[in-house]
């Protein structure tokens, strides 16, 4: 298992344990199934954020993608 996958799995399991199996998406708030979970930087690396666990959250792959698509459109 790669390091990012290991961190994602660890964060997912921690949140699931704390919230009785329900892992909310950091972007939309809906439950994220384990197989759909991605890691999202709360403060983007481009804005000085880090990859420390305190700056990472679980999100749906589609929500993560949409956020980055919006940021790219704004930057153009």
> Mind listing the domains of the chain with CATH numbers?
3-75 (1.10.30)
The gap from C-alpha 37 to its chain's centroid, in whole angstroms, comes to 7
Q: What is the pLDDT of residue 4?
A: 82
- What's the mean pLDDT in 17-27? 95
For 68, the 3-state DSSP assignment is helix
Decide if 23 contacts 32 (C-beta within 8 A). yes
Q: What is the pLDDT of residue 49?
A: 93
Average model confidence (pLDDT) across the chain: 88
């Amino acid at each position: 298992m790669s390091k990012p996958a290991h961190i994602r799995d660890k964060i997912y399991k921690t949140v699931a344990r704390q919230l009785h199996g329900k892992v909310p998406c950091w972007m939309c708030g809906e439950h994220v199934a384990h197989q759909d979970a991605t890691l999202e930087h709360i403060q983007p690396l481009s804005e000085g954020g880090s990859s420390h666990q305190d700056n990472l959250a679980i999100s749906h792959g589609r929500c993560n993608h949409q956020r980055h698509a919006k940021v790219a459109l704004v930057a153009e």
